[in-house]
Chains A and B, each alone.
Chain A
Amino acid sequence: MTENKQKTILIVEDEAPQRKTLAEQFSDEGFLVLKAQNGQEGLEIALREQPDIILLDIVMPIMDGITVMKKLREKNTWGKNVPIILLTNLNSDDETRMKAITRDEPAYYLEKSKWTLSDVVEKVKERLARPF
């Protein structure tokens, strides 16, 4: 199975260095990269551009990642099913994180400080390879 169509990835991350490096890495890998600096912007872009996958930071100003995820999930079919991978540096037992994971869906999440950029790319590709 060949991937002819270029995949679009939306990176929602408020930390500039992280956002930039992620964007570059995915760009190198052939993705079409969209970026957002905060949750609000991320939501707008997501709804407008409907990317194939979203990398969503949790702790962000204006609107945090959990809220974005909630809002997306309550939208039309697209929002309900778009693959989301949460990025976070929150502790594994932090309430916000646990709530996000357990309540909404067994969402994917990454602990940023433990993953390299390449790892993140791997994860994204793996997720996209799954049909559901």
Chain B
Amino acid sequence: MNIQRKIAVVFITSLLAAIIAGVFIFITITQTRESISKLAFISAIRTEIFNRANLLDEYLLYRTERSNTQWILTGERIDELLREAKKIFKTPDESVVLISIEEHNEVIKQTGAQLFSNFRAQPETTISGEVETRLVSKLLIHRSEMIQWATRLGAIVRGEITVAQQRLAIGVGLVTTLLFIIILINLTWIRAILRKLEEARIKDEALLESIGDGVIAIDAEGKIILMNQAAQTMLGWHPEEMTGKLLFDAVSIEDDNGNLIPREKRPIYLALAGTTTTTTTTTTGPTYNYVRKDKTKFPVAIKITPIVVDNKIIGAIDVFRDITKEKEIDRAKSDFISVASHQLRTPMTSIKWVIERFLKVEHPTQKGKEYLDDIHMAITNLSSLVDLLLNVSRIEAGKIGAIPKPLELVEFIKIYLKEQEPLVEKKRLRVIFDQHPATFNVITDHITLRNIVHSLVSNALEYTPDGGEIEIRIAKKDNKFLLTIRDTGIGIPKEEQGHSFEKFFRGSNAKLIKTDGTGLGLYIAAQAAKLLQGKIWMESVIGKGSTFSVELPIESKSVTGEQSMS
């Protein structure tokens, strides 16, 4: 049972206990009041009985004194009491008392009335000895009986009191015990709950402290409310120093060029202001650098999110980690690629130039020239391959950016086609470039566009048999343009077309013609198109030809990246 439920149960049982206790006490009090009423009434009766008994004494006294004292007409009073008694007493015991009182009452009434009337009639008259004796003894008997009854009533009263006392005692005892038990149970539960809460708190704290990433939480005003162990260690601050401080003042952040980032541009500020979540990693997003207490800095990968409760932003959390190592590895990878590509090019250049000299100086035979041309071609391929691999590795690392600049597309293509003339002539291909506007200005990254054009056109040239045809078209389409390259080449088998733009894909028929293709050209073209916020697709019929289409925005947006394509 979770904590909230437990607390609810505690509350409810306490309430119930209080209600039961209240009810019990109420009942007990009511009972007691009833008992007290009974007691009061019984006392009244006793008093009356004793009064009666006293009256008899009085009578006896009267008889001896022969005064003219009037008897109190108590008949009415007794009647009144009897009426009351009938109301309250319902048990047989009490009714016997009533009857006795009534009986005595009659005797007294008769006796009293008789005496009274006698005395009224003849104040000096005395009752004859025998009648008097009988009357007196009758009165005496009645008197002792009355006293007996009074005593019995006393006992009843005492009994009632005892019962009432007992009841009260039991009631109070029960209620007290009940309350005691309930309180005990609740206390035990409360203790357990508090313990669980404390445990949970300790666990949470331990969890937080053992997280390798730094965690800083701030409230809506930017004051630090939490800073875990990892964060302290990384930043060199103690939590006591930090709690309550404004994060903006305590920790500053810089961009990768060492420029301080102003408060309004800080991701955590943005998180507080609106519900902006910022996530950066080693390879994506700008690299922020946190400044330690001792003013040194380190690069971080961050995830900053606002804390939202009931649709209100009450703070923000910054989870960050030191990516110095990762950046180093990344740099090492880049460096390796750079160095490798440079190192590969060195012997290639040597071979190329030596061949050039050989051709010029040694005047080789036709066959010899052929051989050398082949070597030269191979070296050119190798060079392209190195560039290709360099591009691929950069694309993989997500490092490629694009810097759009103005470009006149028609001229661009024409120049490129001119460079391909040797191969075109060799294969006696017909290259058509008619369908295009006279001039077409675009804003795009030149190198990236060149990569696309080169990839597609070189494929067309490579895989179109001698005597074939290649056509390039440019068409404007709203704020985009469409570049199509159609060939009468070998095409791509239908079932393989879905994979065309995948890394290392080579059509099964293409492999037959050119065994050593890389399968990277279309992959790079696709990535390049994506980089320029464009699309690329193709249609192809095996044995007939292919048409590759590239749709690009006339005005590309720039993309931040450490490097550009080569």
A89 contacts partner chain B, Cβ-Cβ < 8 Å:
yes
> Given A113-B349, A113-B352 in contact, is the A25-B338 Cβ separation under 8 Å?
no
Give every chain A residue within 8 A of B282 (Cβ-Cβ): none
Contact A25 B357 (CB under 8 A): yes
Contact A18 B349 (CB under 8 A): yes
Chain B, interface residues (CB within 8 Å), range: 20 to 34
Give every chain B residue within 8 A of A21 (Cβ-Cβ): 350, 353-354, 356-357
Contact A117 B349 (CB under 8 A): no
Chain A, interface residues (CB within 8 Å), range: 20 to 34
Highest count of chain A CB atoms <10 Å: which of B341, B346, B361: B346
Contacting residues of chain A (17-44) with chain B, CB-CB under 8 angstroms:
17-18, 21-22, 24-25, 28
Binary interface encoding of chain B residues 358-371 relative to chain A, with 1 for a CB under 8 A from any of its CBs, else 0: 00110000000000
Q: How far is the CA of A90 from the CA of B566 in the complex (A)?
A: 11
Closest CB in chain B relative to A86 CB, distance in Å: 14
Which one of A24, A59, A91, A114 lies within 8 Å of B341 (CB-CB)?
A91
Give every chain B residue within 8 A of A118 (Cβ-Cβ): 356
Which 8 A-B pairs have CB atoms at the shortest separation, nearest pair first? A17-B350, A89-B345, A21-B353, A112-B349, A113-B345, A93-B563, A113-B383, A21-B357
Contact A15 B341 (CB under 8 A): no
Which one of B342, B356, B390 lies within 8 Å of A116 (CB-CB)?
B356
B564 contacts partner chain A, Cβ-Cβ < 8 Å:
yes
Q: How far is the CA of A113 from the CA of B348 in the complex (A)?
A: 7
Contacting residues of chain B (315-338) with chain A, CB-CB under 8 angstroms:
338
Q: How far is the CA of A28 from the CA of B383 in the complex (A)?
A: 27
**Given A15-B350, A17-B354, A21-B353, 4 other A-B residues pairs in contact with their CB atoms under 8 A:** A21-B356, A22-B353, A113-B386, A118-B356
Highest count of chain B CB atoms <10 Å: which of A17, A21, A113: A113
Contact A90 B564 (CB under 8 A): no
Which A residue's beta carbon lies closest to that of B353?
A21
> Given A24-B361, A25-B357, A117-B357 in contact, is the A94-B338 Cβ separation under 8 Å?
yes
A92 contacts partner chain B, Cβ-Cβ < 8 Å:
yes
Q: How far is the CA of A22 from the CA of B353 in the complex (A)?
A: 8
> Given A21-B354, A21-B357, A24-B361 in contact, is the A15-B349 Cβ separation under 8 Å?
yes
Highest count of chain B CB atoms <10 Å: which of A18, A91, A92: A91
Contact B390 A24 (CB under 8 A): no
Which one of A15, A24, A25, A92 lies within 8 Å of B564 (CB-CB)?
A92
Binary interface encoding of chain A residues 114-127 relative to chain B, with 1 for a CB under 8 A from any of its CBs, else 0: 10111000000000
Contact B349 A89 (CB under 8 A): yes
Q: How far is the CA of A89 from the CA of B352 in the complex (A)?
A: 13
Contact B353 A91 (CB under 8 A): no
Contact A114 B383 (CB under 8 A): yes
Closest CB in chain A relative to B511 CB, distance in Å: 27
- 16 pairs across A/B with beta carbons < 8 Å? A15-B350, A17-B353, A18-B349, A21-B350, A21-B354, A25-B356, A28-B360, A89-B346, A89-B349, A91-B341, A92-B564, A92-B566, A93-B564, A93-B566, A94-B338, A113-B345
Contact A91 B346 (CB under 8 A): no
